[in-house]
Chain A
Amino acid sequence: QSVLTQPPSASGTPGQRVTISCSGSSSNIGTNNVNWYQQLSGTAPKLLIYGNNQRPSGVPDRFSGSKSGTSASLAISGLQSEDETDYYCAAWDDSLNGVVFGGGTKLTVL
């Protein structure tokens, strides 16, 4: 069972806006930055969002991150077929003294 909670699945149609949630606690999301990763099948994860809402160079602005209290969200606007893959959130946990992940969300583009 993961420390951060993500829905196992999400879906949307092309062009739609979808959000993926990541729920934690005061010892992780509540006090530390959240990062989001996209992982295509058989490949290493790719950093999508760092510092809650910052995009690395090269990540389309269709991807955005936000945080409120002990929860964070990844929003994908203008959904495209190539967005169909797995997404993970991660944060530092002060109680565990280490990085914790969400269990991952599989996004389906209908």
Chain B
Amino acid sequence: QVQLQESGPGLVKSSETLSLTCTVSGGSINNYYWSWIRQPPGKGLEWIGYIYYTGTTKYNPSLKSRVTISVDTSKHQFSLNLNSVTAADTAVYYCASPLMPGYLYGWAYWGQGTLVTVSS
């Protein structure tokens, strides 16, 4: 059973960079598309982007200019960097993986989520 665990600062200052890491355990990082999804308090879900284990990425067009997702297969980790953050980036950030290899979405495995607050 794949398990995902997000880690990173829970408080980031406005205009700085939000950095989170997701550690994968219980399964292979290979052949999967790994995603980041966020949810502002009291609001709906927003897909941020994904990375394939080879390093191929795809980002939400609304965030593309500020987002970088990277993968370190040797550490079984993938990471999210979101720069120039504002209060609008305050959200619970989830890492997730699909049910099957090769699926782009259809996320069956999720981290528990981590709340990141952007302070002024």
Contacts and interface: CB of A to CB of B under 8 A. Distances in A.
Contacts of A46: 110
Contacts of A90: 45, 47, 105
Contacts of B103: 50
B110 A44 contact: yes
B46 A101 contact: yes
A45 B44 contact: no
Contact of A56 (B44, B58, B108): B108
Contact of B99 (A2, A56, A99): A56
Interface residues of B, number: 23
Contacts of B60: 96, 98-99
Interface of B: 35, 44-47, 49, 58-61, 94, 96, 99, 103-108, 110-113
7 contacts: A37-B107, A50-B99, A51-B106, A56-B99, A88-B45, A98-B49, A99-B47
A12 interface: no
Contacts of B110: 44-46
B106 A104 contact: no
Given A96-B61, A98-B60, A103-B44, A44 B112 contact: yes
Contact of B106 (A44, A47, A96, A101): A47
A5 B110 CA distance: 24
Interface of A: 2, 33, 35, 37, 39, 43-47, 50-51, 56, 88, 90, 92, 96-104
B44 A104 contact: yes
Nearest to B112: A44
Which of B46, B58, B94, B106 neighbours the largest number of chain A CB atoms within 10 Å of its CB?
B106
A99 B58 CA distance: 10
Contact of B47 (A39, A50, A56, A100): A100
B104 A92 contact: yes
Contacts of A39: 45
B47 A101 contact: yes
Contacts of B58: 97-98
A101 B45 contact: yes
Nearest to B50: A99
Contacts of B46: 101
